[in-house]
Amino acid sequence: MEYIDTGYVPSDNDLLTIFRIKPAGEKKFRDVAEALAGESSIGTWTDLSTMLPEVRDKLRPHVYRIDEPYCWIAYPSELFEPGSVPQILSSIAGNIYGMKAVDRLRLEDFRLPGRLVEGFPGPRLGRDGVRDKMGITGRPLIGTIVKPKVGLSSEQFAEVLYEAMAGGCDIVKDDENLTDQSFNRFEKRLELSLKAAERAEAETGEHKGYMPNVTAPGDELLRRLELVKKAGSRYVMIDVVTTGFSGVQMLRNHSDGLAIHAHRAMYAAFTRVPDHGMSTLAFSKFCRLAGVDQLHVGTIVGKMEGDKEEILRMHDEMHGTVAEPEGRLLGQDWGTLKPVLSVASGGVHPFLIEAIVGHFGKDLAIMLGGGIHGHPEGTRSGARTARKVLDAVIRGESVEELAEKDGDVGKAYELWGKKKW
């Protein structure tokens, strides 16, 4: 069956994809594109006696553009289950990676038709709901990750959280590999941390959000979620890749108004290689469909790898920008799905805040780990420094001048002021 049809004009009913292909050995690009289209939809490696003409005519995909090493494929939306990230991934990012005809393959972008977008409930709160829950307008949320990542007892953890919140952090989260270990049990950490957050709220007059990491196998994930809801937390955190999108969608559907903070640990295992796997942009779009409220997108200036153009594009897509197809970008009309709050995290210290706000604007959360707890005077001074620097940036004031006259900021500036990664 032939799928290449460069005269085909995609319809509003089509799911569109862009793939980057490196054929194996002496394979021809067009032959590989043909095989990819078939394997990801109705075809296989040989002609089929069971291929009904009505199935072929209605459900065949179309390779509608080729510009090596890229090809564009349009799939009829009837091939996909509305509201199911796993089924869509199993189709357009499934068996095709194991084909012998392919040496390298990367899903660069995808675009769902309106009828499929409408099948996803999307974020419960989204960007604006998170801001309402936290009572924060006009500036980014500022937060930290309790460090060291693992090893602190529940009591020690809660005390670090309190110091950070009392110093000015809005949000504090578990790290990606802290769940329920013998040295820090989940239930005790949850209880003590929320008490510490209440203490900080009473002292500062500000809302504070603790993000307990509920990442676990399905039944246990739901059990922890119920504990978090009963305890009165504003937030919950999930490692979206290691949990899997079915777990993320399940969490969203049972979250009952908790803000879902999505950590993307392991994402680079399939996004980092530039000619294989999946783009971080495509991955992020699946997260929005799955219903997270805030998502790590990168920092541009921090310690983590990431292309500036792609990171900013992710930020735009998470915030609801409707972009028309252009070059190797397909954009997405998100319909009624709420925007997601971008999170900049990874090697951030206070003197990168100005650059981060310059790149992203005010609508994001900025997370500093070592950049708070590594302050020479401790966590509270680190949090005060981050908040003072953020406030100065929002007011348009000089951070260098602030460092000259403020003790907390000055000590941090001596340590990190010139560090740009």
**What are the residues facing 294 on neighbouring strands?**
261, 341
230 token code pair: 């009963």
Per DSSP (E only), the strands in 146-243 are 171-173, 209-211, 235-239
Q: How many CB atoms lie within 10 A of CB 380?
A: 20
Known catalytic residue: 207?
no
CA distances from 261 to 123, 291, 297, 311 (A): 11, 10, 12, 18
Nearest by Cα to 271 from 298, 248, 301: 298
CA 134 to centroid of chain Cα atoms: 20
Known catalytic residue: 338?
no
| Active-site residue (options: 208, 263, 315, 375) | 263
DSSP state of 80: S
Q: Tell the residue number behind the tokens 């590594």, with chain if given.
A: 374
Q: b/e for 257-279, b at 16 or more Cβ within 10 A?
A: ebbbbbbbbebbebbeeeebbbb
Nearest by Cα to 31 from 99, 111, 109, 92: 99
CA distances from 105 to 30, 42, 94 (A): 14, 19, 11
**Residues with catalytic roles:** 147, 263
